[in-house]
Amino acid sequence: MALPTRVDDSAPPYGTLVFDCDSTLSSIEGIDELAGPRKAEIAALTERAMAGEVPLEAVYGKRLELLRPTREQVAALGQQYVGTALPHALELVQALRALRKRVCILSGGLRQAVFALADHLRIDSGDVFAVDVFHGRDGAYAGFDEDSPLARAGGKLEVLRQLAREDRRGGLVLIGDGATDLEAAPAARRFVAFGGVARRKEVFARAVVTCDAPDLAALLPLLVATDEIETLAQDPVHHPLLRAARVAR
Catalytic amino acids?
20, 22
The least distance separating Mg ion from the CB of residue 243, rounded to whole angstroms, comes to 27
Question: What backbone torsions phi and psi does residue 141 show, to the nearest 5 degrees?
Answer: -60, 135
Please give the residue ranges that form the binding site for Mg ion (CB under 5 A): 20, 22-23, 177-178
Whichever of 20 and 91 has its CB closer to Mg ion, that residue is 20
Q: What angle is formed at CA 91 by the lines to CA 204 and CA 200, rounded to 5 degrees? A: 15
Whichever of 155 and 178 has its CB closer to Mg ion, that residue is 178
Q: Which three-class secondary structure state does DSSP give residue 136?
A: coil
CB 157 within 8 A of CB 144: no
Question: Residue 148's closest CA among 164, 128, 125, 132?
Answer: 132
Q: Is 230 left (phi over 0), alpha (psi -120 to 50) or beta?
A: alpha
Whichever of 178 and 221 has its CB closer to Mg ion, that residue is 178
Query: Cβ atoms within 10 A of the Cβ of 202, count?
Result: 17
Residues 23-59 as b or e (16 or more Cβ within 10 Å = b): bbbbbbbbbbbbbeeeeeebbebbbbbbbbeebbeeb
Whichever of 27 and 242 has its CB closer to Mg ion, that residue is 27
